[in-house]
Amino acid sequence: MKKIVTILGARPQFVKAAVLSRIIAKKEEFEEVIIHTGQHYDANMSDIFFTEMEIPVPKYNLNINGLSHGEMTGQMIEKIEEVLLHEKPEAIVVYGDTNSTIAGALAAKKLDIKVVHVEAGLRSFNMKMPEEINRILTDRISDLLFCPTDTAVNNLKMEGFDNFDAEVIKCGDIMKDAVEYYSRFSEEKSKIIASLKLNDRSFILATIHRQENTDDLDKLKSIFEGLELISKEAKVVIPLHPRTRKILEKNNLSYDVEIIDAVGYFDMLELLKHCLLVITDSGGLQKEAFFNKKPCIIAREETEWIELVENGFATLVGSNKQKMLEAFQIYNNIALDYSINLYGTEIGVSIYNKLKNSILY
C-alpha cells in the first residue's frame, strides 16, 4: 500500500484535512500518516478538532510551538525530516500557508518526496505577511498545486508556473466540503447558542488574530474600538485567540464586547449559522461566512479571497473603525444573493482522484 504523510499544525489545516482524510480512509488505497507539528497547542485550537471531526489521531506530535518564526520553522524541518526518513512516503500533503506548511514542503523536497499543496496560488501581495512568504515558497517547490479559484491559477501563471515541472489544478475550495459535511452535525454537537443565550441574527461574530493586527497596538486598539462602536447596535461575540488575549491583558485593554474562549469547529459553525454577519482578519472565516450566507467585514488591507469582495459579499476595512462601522450599517440593511457558486463542488473527491492518479499511475 502506498503511503501519504499529511502535515498539520493550525486550525484551518485541521478543517481542510478532515475532508481528504475521510476519503482516504474510505477508499483504502493509501495509508495516511499524520504529523501534527504542534503549532497550535491550545486544546480548543488543536486537540478538540481531532476528537470532533473524525480525523485520525496523529501518529506524530512534534510539540513545536511558542518560538520565533525562524526557530519554529527550523525545528519543524528537522523533526519532519526524521519522520519522513522513517516512513518513506510517496508524497506529502500540506495545506495553506503556515510555518508547518513551508517546513513540511522543504523537508520533503530535499528528500525527493512529492509535495502536494492544497490551497495553492493564493496571494495577498503583501510581503510583510509571514503567510505570504510561506505560500510563495511552498508553491514554488510543490509538484501538485491544487488551486481553489481561477484567480489562484492565474497568479501562478503570472509567476511562470507554465514553465515549471509542476502541475497546477483548479479544484475548488476544500473548506466548502467541510462546512457542508459538518453542518449536518453541528447543532447536535454544539450547545453554544443556548449557553450564551444568543438569538438568531442578533449578534456579530468577530475574530482577530493576525500578526499584522495583534503586533501593532494602534491597529489592535482601533479594531476593538470599532467592535465596541458596533456593539452599541448589536451584541459582538469574540471567540478570542490565545495570543490576542495575552496582548490585551498585557496592555490592560478591555472593551464592551463579549469575549469568550476560543471554540471548537462545531461551536464555530453554530455561531456562523446564527450570527448576523462576521468581522474577521482570518482568511478561512471569510469563506466560512460566505458558505453560511453571511456578509463579512475584513479587518485587513487586502484579501487572498478577492472574489468575495468583487461580488459584494465582503468589504475590506483594515483597522479603520469608522469604515468598520459604515460597513456594518450597510450590510445590516441589505440582502445578498448567495446563489453564485464561487468555490466548486465535491472538491475533496476531485483532489483525491487526481492525487491517486499521480501517485499510483
Cα(185)–Cα(264) distance, integer angstroms: 13
Please report, as a single letter, which amino acid is at residue 184.
R
Please report, as a single letter, which amino acid is at residue 329.
Q
Cα(115)–Cα(261) distance, integer angstroms: 35
Cα(63)–Cα(58) distance, integer angstroms: 12
SS3 43: helix
Cα(304)–Cα(210) distance, integer angstroms: 14
Give the active site residue among 117, 209, 241, 274. Answer: 209
Please report, as a single letter, which amino acid is at residue 132.
E
- 293: Cβ contacts below 8 Å, ≥ 6 apart: 336, 338
Between the CA atoms of 125, 131, 133 and 139, what dihedral angle is there, to the nearest 10 degrees?
-90
Q: Is 209 an active-site residue?
A: yes
Which sequence positions are flagged as catalytic?
A: 209
